[in-house]
Every structure is written in C-alpha cells, then in structure tokens.
Amino acid sequence: MVVLNKIYTRTGDDGTTALGSGQRVLKSDLRVEAYGTLDETNAAIGLARLHTQHEPTLEAMLGRIQNDLFDLGADLCFPDESKDARGRLSVSDAQVDRLESEIDELNRALQPLRSFVLPGGSPAASFLHLARTVSRRAERLMVELAARPSERVGDAALRYINRLSDFLFVAGRYANDKGEADVLWVPGQNR
C-alpha cells in the first residue's frame, strides 16, 4: 500500500532521488530517466483516454496498461533483484502475453496496411501515436540501461515495453475508425 501524507520532502533539493532500494542517485541517472519516460508515456495514454470513452474495449485496455506502467516503473526502480526485493513488483510474462493478445484482438478489426501511417486522424489516435513515440524512447533508455554490466532490467520488462509500442500503433489505427480514417504517407508527395 502506498501512503503519501506529504508530497514534498525536500530530500531531492540537491538533485538526487531515492530508488526503491533506498539508494540515492542523481535525478539524471539513466534508470531514473527510463522510469520517468514511462511516466510520460502514461500521461500521454491518459490524454488519449479522454477521447476513448465511446470505445469501452479500448478504454479498458488502456486502463490496464496505465496500471502496468506503474508496475514497470516499480520494477525499474530496484537496481538489483537480490536487494530489498521482498514484495517488490516486477512485470510478469502474463502481462506481456495479455498485451500480445490485446494487440491481436484490435488488429483483427483492421485492414492490412498498404503504406506507413502518419500520426494523426482522430484526437485519440493522435495521442496514442504520441504515447507510442514516447514509449519507444523509454524502450531505448531501458535497452541502454540493460546493456550496462552493472545494471539489471528484467527480460519481461524489456518484452513489455517493446510490445507496448506495437499495441499503441494498432490502438491508434483502431481509434481512427478501425483504420478507415488513418492518414497514410504518400512517398514523394511534395517534391
């Protein structure tokens, strides 16, 4: 259970923050950058959800993803599995599997693409494409972090963030009248 009685603590005034283990690191630390970018992704999904109330299936999927992103952030805030891991959250294979099945569910309603999709169309699709690009940045940061010999990022966490951008792409198409309102790239159109 998370209890926040006071929002400001003044402990970060020196430019540091605490990881889940209690270790203090700079706020510019790559691990903090990674889970901060997950927070940005979550905020963009929240904006998309303002425009998905008429699509209860998509709305429910996005709500689950927002919750998963907090799990993923909790997973990333622990730099070492063996320390202070009692009760800590980590992304599971089941969450990745669910995301894949939801991608497949939405994709069944779409026609195959004949060109690349430009971000846009409906407000929901536009915000979902924004969330997709932010999630790709989070993925790049997580991959960079995982490549460091002294750092740990779980395999399921990496799979989840990779699938998330796929989900957001398909969800953006779905939100564009099931792909009918997609804005397609026309190569060389403005030469």
In a domain, 84, yes or no: no
The pTM is what? 0.91
Q: How far does Cα 95 stand from its chain's mean position?
A: 13
Reported as a single tens digit per residue, the pLDDT across 58-116 is 999 999 999 999 999 999 988 876 555 556 788 999 999 999 999 999 999 999 988 89
Which of the pair, 190 or 83, is modelled with greater confidence? 190
CATH code for the domain in which residue 168 is found: 1.20.1200.10
Q: Which two tokens stand for residue 127?
A: 């915000």
Q: How many CA atoms lie within 13 A of 17 on its CB side?
A: 14
Residue 53 belongs to domain spanning: 30-79+93-181
Cα(79)–Cα(102) distance, integer angstroms: 30
3-state secondary structure of 183: strand
In a domain, 72, yes or no: yes
